[in-house]
Structure formats: structure tokens, C-alpha cells
Amino acid sequence: MPYKNIEDYSETVTQGVKDRYKEIIESLGEDTQREGLLKTPERAAKAMQFLTQGYEQDPVEILTSAMFKESYNEMVIVKDIELYSLCEHHILPFFGKVHIAYIPNGYIVGLSKLPRIVDVFARRLQVQERLTEQILDCINDTLKPQGVAVVIEASHMCMMMRGVQKQNSITTTSGFRGQFEKIETRNEFLKLIGK
């Protein structure tokens, strides 16, 4: 049986975005009837829907679907979570790693849910600063832990491919709530993630 790619995209949105991509490509001086570009507007429309699917997802629902009553009250860390997002200023990718820690306060969450909420917020037009805060606040407000910490390290194509063209720059953002506002707890977290 031949390969079949199953995608679930709105036909209306796909058609509208496809038409606009075709106009953009033609405005840049390219021939959209050229073999290599025939399907590019549709592919780009579907890619953009995939890369912005976070608007259609509820991070609170994701977290609450796997909250479990538990007496564990030490630090839980999920580090090196892959991050891919789009900078809202140039619609160019930024990518890197997210490190998340929380100290439970009666409830733990399924470990896979933390990377899932990273994706929900990352798959929107973003800035790294807001992304850090959204992840932090979602965990803090939903789990109500004793504390939560988020550190994001990312490379931004808008700084690498254009503009200042600095190939080795990394942007780091962080946020801390509750127990992580205490220097000892924060330092323990940073040491455990290798910072």
C-alpha cells in the first residue's frame, strides 16, 4: 500500500492562506507555475496551520487531564524539552530547550504533559519572554504547586539569517514562582539543569 499522509486541516483556511502565499511568491518575482513551486503555496498553508495549532489547544485541559493526588513534595524537573516556535516579529523560527521544575503541593502531573504545554504555547506566533511567562503561569495557576521554575534557551533565526546575523547567539529567559523565588531553591534548580 502506498504511503498516505493523514492531515486534518481546515479546507477554508488552507485555501485562503494558499492564495495569499501564491500572491507573496509571485510578488517576490517567482513563477508559481514552475514545477518546484506548483504545490508550495498549499504546503506552506498547511505548515503554517501546523506551526500555529496551539491557538486551538487548551493547556489547562492538558494539565488537568493527568493530575494525580500524591504526597511527594520535592523538586520535579523535566529538562531539555525541545522547543520550536515562530517569532511574531518576522515569522521566522526560534528553537532551543525548555527546562521546567515544580515542587508539588498535594498533586503531581503526568510528565508528558509538561512538554505538551510547551508545544501548545510555542505553536503560536510568539516572543520568548511571553512564552516563558505563559508556561510558568499555566503550571502555577493550574497545579498550584509550592513553586515553579522555567528557563528557556533559544536561537532566533531573525538574528541569525537576517538583521545582525549573529550565528552563535543564544537568548535565555527565566521565570520563578513560590519556593523558587528563594535563592537556595533557585540555585539547586539551576545546578541540576547544568546552569
Question: What is the CATH number for 97?
Answer: 3.30.1130.10
Whether 89 is catalytic: yes
Q: In this structure, are 72 and 165 located in the same domain?
A: yes
140 is in which domain, residue-wise? Answer: 59-193
87 is annotated as contributing to ligand binding:
yes
Q: In terms of domains, do 34 and 75 share one?
A: no
110 and 155 Cβ atoms separated by less than 8 Å: no
**Residues 91, 19 within the same domain:** no
Is 158 part of the annotated catalytic residue set? yes
Instruction: Say whether both 96 and 79 belong to one domain.
Output: yes
Active site residue: 53, 90, 133, 188, which one?
A: 90
Task: Tell me the mean pLDDT in the region 114-122.
Answer: 98
Q: What are the tens digits of pLDDT across the range 138-189? A: 999 999 999 999 999 999 999 988 888 888 899 999 999 999 999 999 999 9
82-94: pLDDT as tens digits: 999 999 999 999 9
Same domain, 18 and 81: no
Domain shared by 30 and 93, yes or no? no
User: What integer pLDDT is reported at residue 12 of this predicted model?
Assistant: 94
Spatial separation of the C-alpha atoms in residues 148 and 44, rounded to whole Å: 37
In this structure, the answer to whether residues 100 and 182 fall within a common structural domain is yes
What number is the average pLDDT over the span 61-72? 96
Residue 138 in marked binding region? no
Residues 122 and 184 in one domain: yes
Q: Which residues contact 81 (CB under 8 A, 6 or more apart)?
A: 97, 98, 99, 100, 114, 115, 118
Residue showing cell 506551526: 51
Q: Is the pLDDT of residue 9 over 90?
A: no
